[in-house]
């Protein structure tokens, strides 16, 4: 980060405790760009970079360099990148992590360095509750939230016996915990798979044998694509309806699976048809620039950049004033693709959650369509454990 001042005046100001406005800053974008989860990280990166482009290459009026690195969905690789971001690159702000096991692995180093981390996805329950941290903000949602919304929908629809599938890692456990918080019927089976698994023949046979009248899955990225393809090919999709969080029914999955996705319901804090100028510009330009429909991951990357922009602007570019910048992040009214939201005491968003359905379009293609609101201004279950 650079500051503008004459040497003598600058030393005097720093000695007095004054903080000068930066004329440039660095954002470390570490995300998953290879492997089964690559599509998620690519969308976060592209959404973030689109926002920076819309803002003329500046966040908060400051020229911004975005340093992009691929964590390859590997915690050890992520730790190495984190050390490089902090020591060599000296990033002012970090963002981008998709998977919660990686976020839990790298969070302590960012927090110890007093580097603000603006999560564009990973929202582990630990950082929402007892391990909440003044340097961590999540602009997406707490891991349980989309699953809570779908648990409520499935409960409201009267399903009596639901099977559930998720990968065996922190976000997978948070997901099914969230679903069960609102779904009160019988759990026919609760299946945890290997993270990154792509063959689900055994799990589908297990679901078939369970006698479930509905299935809920949390399988992000390539995991979800492969599972839904195999589930449809097995004939189970017509027998036992499939419900999912937004990303397992999002446009990248829909495009990869095709017409077999028709009729799948999914929950999200954002939907493509949201009628506000920020979202309309985001959707149009994302499609124009990338040739694909935006996912909720892309919207989260975009919103992370908008939050940083608003907070930096609020402190007049004085991002080294940590207390002032934290206060700005907590309270600033940032523009957003999803409309209005605000942070709870644990720095996770309080926001609405919606139901979407994958429908067939006039041209024979399938895509997500807004159905209705499921939750209004919902706060995560862990906020009460946060002592900030």
**Residue 383 DSSP class:** G
**What does the alpha-carbon distance between residue 40 and residue 202 come to, in Å, rounded to a whole number?**
26
Both tokens of residue 354? 């919606």
pLDDT in tens, 60-113: 999 999 999 999 999 999 999 999 999 999 999 999 999 999 999 999 999 999
What pLDDT is recorded for position 119?
A: 98
* 169 and 99 Cβ atoms separated by less than 8 Å: yes
Cβ contacts of 275 within 8 Å, gap of 6 or more: none
pLDDT in tens, 311-360: 999 999 999 999 999 999 999 999 999 999 999 999 999 999 999 999 99
Burial of 252 per CB tally in 10 Å (0-12, 13-18, 19+): buried
Question: Residue for token digits 């030393």?
Answer: 11
pLDDT in tens, 202-247: 999 999 999 999 999 999 888 999 999 999 999 999 899 999 998 7
- With b for 16 or more beta-carbon neighbours within 10 A and e for fewer, the 275-293 pattern comes to eeebbeebbebbeeeeebb
**Would you tell me the crossing angle of helices 277-290 and 296-314 to the nearest 10 degrees?**
120
User: First and final CA of the chain: distance in angstroms?
Assistant: 28
Where do the domains of the chain lie, and which CATH numbers do they carry? 25-141+274-340 (3.40.50.2300), 145-268+353-384 (3.40.50.2300)
* 15 and 251 Cβ atoms separated by less than 8 Å: no
pLDDT in tens, 101-146: 999 999 999 999 999 999 999 999 999 999 999 999 999 999 999 9
Nearest Cα residue to 286 out of 300, 268, 265: 300
Helix, strand, or coil (residue 186): strand
Q: What is the dihedral of CA 126, 127, 132, 134, to 10 degrees?
A: 160
**Residue 315 DSSP class:** T
As a residue count, the chain comes to 388
């Amino acid at each position: 980060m650079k500051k503008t001042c004459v040497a003598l005046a600058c030393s005097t100001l720093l000695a007095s405790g004054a903080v000068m406005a930066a004329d440039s800053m660095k954002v470390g974008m570490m995300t998953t760009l290879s492997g089964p989860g690559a599509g998620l990280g690519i969308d976060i990166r592209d959404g973030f970079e689109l926002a920076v482009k819309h803002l003329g290459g500046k966040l908060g009026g400051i020229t911004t360099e975005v340093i992009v690195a691929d964590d390859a969905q590997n915690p050890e690789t992520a730790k190495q990148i984190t050390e490089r971001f902090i020591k060599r690159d000296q990033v002012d702000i970090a963002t981008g992590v998709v998977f919660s096991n990686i976020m839990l692995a790298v969070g302590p180093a960012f927090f110890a360095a007093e580097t603000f981390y603006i999560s564009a996805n990973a929202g582990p329950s630990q950082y929402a509750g007892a391990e909440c941290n003044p340097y961590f903000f999540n602009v997406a949602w707490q891991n349980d939230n989309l699953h809570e919304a779908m648990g409520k929908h499935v409960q409201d629809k009267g399903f009596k016996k639901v099977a559930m599938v998720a990968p065996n890692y922190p976000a997978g456990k948070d997901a099914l915990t969230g679903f069960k918080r609102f779904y009160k019927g019988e759990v026919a089976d609760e299946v945890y798979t290997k993270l990154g698994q792509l063959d689900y023949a055994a799990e589908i046979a297990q679901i078939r044998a369970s006698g479930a009248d509905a299935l809920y899955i949390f399988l992000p990225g390539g995991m979800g694509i492969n599972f839904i393809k195999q589930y449809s090919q097995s004939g189970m999709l017509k027998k036992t309806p499939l419900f999912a969080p937004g990303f397992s029914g999002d446009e990248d999955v829909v495009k990869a699976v095709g017409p077999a996705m028709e009729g799948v319901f999914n929950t999200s804090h954002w939907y493509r048809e949201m009628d506000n100028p920020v979202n309309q510009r985001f959707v149009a330009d994302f499609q124009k620039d990338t040739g694909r429909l935006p996912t909720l991951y892309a919207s989260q990357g975009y919103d992370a950049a908008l939050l940083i922009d608003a907070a930096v602007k609020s402190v007049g570019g004085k991002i080294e004033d940590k207390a002032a910048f934290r206060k700005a992040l907590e309270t600033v009214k940032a523009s957003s693709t999803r409309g209005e939201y605000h942070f709870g005491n644990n720095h996770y968003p309080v926001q609405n959650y919606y139901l979407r359905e994958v429908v067939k379009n006039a041209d024979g293609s399938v895509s997500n369509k807004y159905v209705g609101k499921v939750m209004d201004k919902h706060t995560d279950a862990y906020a009460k454990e946060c002592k900030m």
